[in-house]
């Protein structure tokens, strides 16, 4: 299972929870866990509240850790200028695993699945889903 | 499977390894992996040594990344003042997946499963466990 | 399944993608996900491009977050001086989960599985692999 999503880059926070739910409706697995994985080395997936203030706060703090306009050795390759995006992606990682019960994602009241695209330009992102089995 | 745990908040580090082991004793799966997932957007789970110095060091470093008394846009919602907790939770994430062999968790000598509650107040946390199958 | 790998410590970045692929060739599971997990509290696994500039950039940024020569309470135990390594390991975590389709890892063009050894000395690292099932 997979879906594609358009992002704007530069730390674009996209709530993909509903997209994931649509996908797992087609699974016959009732009990287990759901892997969500984004392809690409300049994006990541995490879980957080869908609130514009929290998104802005996390963007600000990641900007302090790895400034967009910083000097990165990666830029010496001459291919692109998205060194900051690579760092943020490696720190946050592209995978998340969420429990599944009675065919539904087990998330807390405010927990949403958020894809963050750190790249310097808009991208079409491919997100893979795997529903894993318990007994 | 799940359990509840009382935390004190403000970066309370709680070793939940024994609790997880108790839960998986009831599983018939011998070979696979165990997902541990905490509900809530102001807590996280990681793996580290259970040593008070390391806990204090990580607390200090996360405080530099996202100070407890910082100005967060999340606070403009007027609901709560736990912006730092949301950031730390989103960075560390609520999930960890550990190999299972012969019905036992595969952890290194010093690896322990640590729940960190970043919230500004004590909480009762719900932790979900899923035992996933390999062949 | 597992393998061992020699590392040099002090933020040694090792691309273990081929080693993981060799291991899963022996699995009969065609569709699911692959857990890669490193034993030890001073190493971590993430996904990033295998490019020396990006490795150097991430090393630099983690050095700012948790300097190798910093004062850590962990050092007061008198056992070792690898406090920075424990912090970096706890932040990045030892696990990654990657989708599997038709018996192959689903990775983006530039996504590679990178083990980072943060310890202050060379180590032999044990990496565990579990192939998990979907339907």
Chain A positions in Cβ-Cβ contact with residue C111 (cut-off 8 Å)? 39-41, 94
Q: Cα angle at A9 between C45 and A14, to 5 degrees?
A: 80
CA distance A66 to A63: 5
Say whether C128 and B99 touch across the interface (CB within 8 A): yes
φ, ψ at B19 (rounded to 5°): -60, -40
CATH classification at residue B82: 2.60.120.460
pLDDT at position B26: 80
Chain B contact set for C72 (CB, 8 A): 53-54, 57
**What b/e string do you get for A53-72 counting C-beta neighbours within 10 Å, with b at 16 or more?**
bbbbbbbbbbeebbebeeeb
CA distance A78 to A81: 8
Structure tokens at C66: 């948790």
Assess whether pLDDT exceeds 80 at residue A135: no
Q: Which residues of B touch A53 (CB under 8 A)?
A: 72-77, 83
Instruction: Residue count of chain A, please give it.
Output: 135
For residue B90, the chain A residues in CB contact (below 8 A) are 46-48, 54, 58, 114
Is 90 exceeded by the pLDDT of residue B112? Answer: yes
Q: Which domain holds residue B23?
A: 2-133
Per DSSP, C107 falls in state -
| Bridge partners of residue B100, in order along the sequence | B32, B105
For A84, which residue in chain C has the nearest alpha carbon?
Answer: C57
Does the pLDDT at position A4 exceed 90?
Answer: yes
In degrees and rounded to multiples of 5, residue B94 shows phi and psi of: -90, 0
pLDDT at residue C65 greater than cutoff 90 = yes
Q: What are phi and psi of A19, to 5 degrees?
A: -60, -40
CA C23, CA C129: separation in Å to the nearest integer?
Answer: 8
List, for residues B1-22, the tens digit of each pLDDT value.
999 999 999 999 999 999 999 9
Neighbours of B86 (CB within 10 A): 26
Domains held by chain C: number: 1
Across the interface, of C52, C92, C106, the residue whose CB is closest to A91 is C92
Residue C61 pLDDT > 90 = yes
pLDDT tens digits for A54-100? Answer: 999 999 999 999 999 999 999 998 888 999 999 999 999 999 999 99
Place of tokens 């273990």: C16
- The residues of B whose Cβ lies within 8 A of any Cβ of C are 31-33, 46-49, 51-54, 56-58, 61, 64-65, 91-93, 96-100, 106-108, 110-111, 114, 132-135
- Check whether A26 has a pLDDT greater than 90: no
């Amino acid at each position: 299972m997979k879906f594609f999503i358009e992002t704007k880059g530069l730390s674009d926070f996209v709530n993909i929870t509903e997209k994931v739910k649509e996908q797992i409706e087609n699974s016959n697995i009732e009990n287990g866990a759901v892997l969500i994985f984004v392809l690409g080395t300049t994006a990541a997936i995490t879980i957080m509240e869908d609130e514009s203030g929290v998104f802005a706060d996390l963007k600000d703090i990641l900007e302090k850790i790895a400034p967009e306009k910083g000097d990165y050795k990666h830029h010496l390759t001459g291919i692109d200028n998205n060194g900051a995006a690579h760092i943020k992606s490696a720190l946050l990682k592209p995978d998340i695993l969420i429990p599944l019960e009675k065919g539904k994602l087990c998330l807390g009241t405010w927990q949403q699945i958020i894809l963050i695209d750190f790249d310097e330009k808009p991208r079409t992102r491919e997100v893979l889903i795997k529903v894993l089995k318990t007994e």
